[in-house]
Structure 1
Amino acid sequence: MKKLLMILLVAFIGINSYAQSNTAKVIHLDDDTFKKKVFDYTKGGDWIFEGDKPVIVDFYADWCGPCKRIAPILKELQKEYGDAIQIYKVDTDMSPAVSSAFGIKSIPSLLFVPMKGKPTMAQGALPKETFVKAIDDVLGVKAPK
């Protein structure tokens, strides 16, 4: 009996570790990684999305109160939607080039990037329901059930 419990415990830990390692996470980008994963704003010209799934880019700063309020909402949404979307964070103090390229003057500013078409910018500490509606309407991704 003890041996069976030990085997089940080891199996549970292994499965749980595998599941946690494969869960989607909010990813921080800087000026260079933004160009590779979202859009190379230095080339000029038309919008060409570099990603392989719809994304939300959160332009934020560590000192920003409203940014801190939406951070847990974004983490929760990333977990709920999993690999259907990707949420990125760009620290405007650490990544001035991309922030300037997108005309970020107030934070939080959120860039919703669908697979096709132009991105949409929103500003302010949005409630979760507004994020869910934008993910559905702008990104074309339905809420998980």
Structure 2
Amino acid sequence: MKKILMILLVAFIGANSFAQSKSEAKIIHLNDDTFKEKVFDYEKGGDWKFEGDKPVIVDFYADWCGPCKRIAPVLKELQKEYGDAIQIYKVDTDDSPLVSRAFGIRSIPSLLFVPMKGKPTMAQGALPKAKFVEAINDVLGVKAPN
């Protein structure tokens, strides 16, 4: 009986820790300076050198943008579902003109999918959740959680 209780307790703690790590993963807002630290130092120029430690999606958005507002809950849901496997960043194009200009952002939302290795891929528009999941799988190389 003690053995069964111990196994159940260990299983509960493990599942609870997993759930906490997923729920603690949050979307992070970046500006011109923090983007250089966490993603890519666009001022140095030269070849792409990703600064992160996990695949990321960067959402270039503005508070006044209707399509940006429509994908915001989808991104929040994806960050929660994927937990620490990916990181979603948001960059307000009005507040961060330098990074927005460096990436040629002319329409929003624009989404930068950054894998651990290789070049990033840009997508534009309010993508449906299924397209995000497809890009996370195909571009970022991260499988959907069970």
| TM-score (norm: length of structure 2) | 0.86
Return the alpha-carbon distance in structure 1 between the equivalents of residues 38 and 23 of structure 2: 19
SS at match of 1:112: strand
Query: Structure 1: where are the runs of 5+ without partners?
Result: 1-14
Residues 1:66 and 1:22: Cα distance change in structure 2 (over 3 Å): closer
| 1:91 to 2:95 alignment | no
Q: CA deviation at 1:19?
A: 2.8
Question: Structure 1 counterpart of 2:120, which letter?
Answer: P
Moved over 4 A (4+): none
Query: Structure 2: where are the runs of 5+ without partners?
Result: 1-15
CA contact (8 A) 2:22 2:80 kept: no
Q: 1:125 aligns to what? A: 126
SS at match of 1:90: strand
Q: How many residues align?
A: 130
CA contact (8 A) 2:32 2:97 kept: yes
Q: CA deviation at 1:23?
A: 1.3
- RMSD value over aligned CA atoms? 1.7
Return the alpha-carbon distance in structure 2 between the equivalents of residues 19 and 121 of structure 1: 31
CA contact (8 A) 2:23 2:80 kept: no
Return the alpha-carbon distance in structure 2 between the equivalents of residues 73 and 125 of structure 1: 10
Residues 1:117 and 1:23: Cα distance change in structure 2 (over 3 Å): same
| TM-score (norm: length of structure 1) | 0.86
Residues 1:136 and 1:21: Cα distance change in structure 2 (over 3 Å): closer
SS at match of 2:43: coil
Any idea what the Cα deviations from partners look like across 1:112-132, whole Å, max 9, x if unmatched? Answer: 000000000000000000000
User: What is the percent sequence identity of the aligned residues?
Assistant: 82
Return the alpha-carbon distance in structure 2 between the equivalents of residues 66 and 90 of structure 1: 15
